[in-house]
Structure 1
């Protein structure tokens, strides 16, 4: 099932299959290690429309909700 990172529950891991958006945004995410084929895990959803903290390659990354909605993943666990 394909969903956005926003829809993943805390503690769940998924494989990144697509980054939706323009080349600038895709390059920005790829430069911090978020790219197709990698596993991504949601660490926490901050309340009150705050950021989403994810883990990719043992790195913790804080993403705004707008960016998190554009990272499409396939659930693995």
Structure 2
């Protein structure tokens, strides 16, 4: 079942399968180590559309 990062609660893990966003945004994610095939763990989600903290 495919989910977005925002669907995951803190403590849950997921594997990156694709990106949605501008080419510049995707490039930035890749430069910080977030790539297709990587497993991410959600550390924290801040309310009201705030940042999502992940561990790579």
TM normalised by structure 1 equals 0.67
Deviation at 1:37, TM superposition (A): 0.3
- 2:32 counterpart residue number: 32
- Higher strand proportion: 1
What value does the CA root-mean-square deviation take over the aligned residues?
Answer: 1.1
Q: 5+ residue gaps in structure 2?
A: none
- 1:2 counterpart residue number: 2
Following TM superposition, the consecutive aligned residue runs of length 4 or more in structure 1 with deviations greater than 3 angstroms are none
TM normalised by structure 2 equals 0.88
The count of aligned residue pairs is 56
Q: 5+ residue gaps in structure 1?
A: 57-77
Q: Which stretch of structure 1 is more off in the superposition, 39-48 or 9-18? A: 39-48
> 1:9-58 deviations in whole A, cap 9, x for unaligned?
110011100012222111011001111000001001112332111110xx
Which structure is richer in relative contact order (CA contacts within 8 A, separation 6 or more)? 1
- Counterparts of 2:53 and 2:22 in 1: how far apart (Å)? 22
